[in-house]
Structure 1
Amino acid sequence: FKVVIAALLFFLALTFSYQNDFPVVIRYWGITEGTEIPFFVAIIIAFFSGIIIGGLGGLISNFSLKRQIRKLKKQLERL
């Protein structure tokens, strides 16, 4: 089932990129003069940036929870 879903998502991404290959100009607060890239590349960059930022948030939460578990285990050993 996972393979079917992955294949479907890949197909959707492929058709999306094929149909949206027009150029867009990327500027960032005047730092760059303007870089022209295909639209689907801009979408892919935004998608993976979101994954990375979300993953970092998850890692921070994970470390915090592990620290809390260690503290609770130490408290349990003292009892």
Structure 2
Amino acid sequence: MRIAVDLNRCQGYAQCAFLAPDVFVMHGDEALLYDPDADEAQRAKVAQAAAACPVQAILVDAVDTGGAVATADASAEVVSGAR
């Protein structure tokens, strides 16, 4: 699983850090640190974090074994949005 956060869009609401603390961490009041290559075991928490983001700043991509990249919206297992 690969994660990208649009840090220009992120407003520091920290919803992602509350929902997936092993992947997203607030550094100070405004800076977000995250693991762009989070473990697949974190997928459910990352999906919840992405869906909870008020500004939809998180994009999550799933790479299947065939090398194709799949993306989806917040209603699916793979999510875009966050924090």
Task: Indicate the TM-score class for this superposition, using the shorter chain for normalisation.
Answer: under 0.3
Normalised by the length of structure 1, the TM-score is 0.23
Higher share in helix: 1
Higher share in strand: 2
Normalised by the length of structure 2, the TM-score is 0.22
Higher relative contact order (CA 8 A, sep 6+): 2
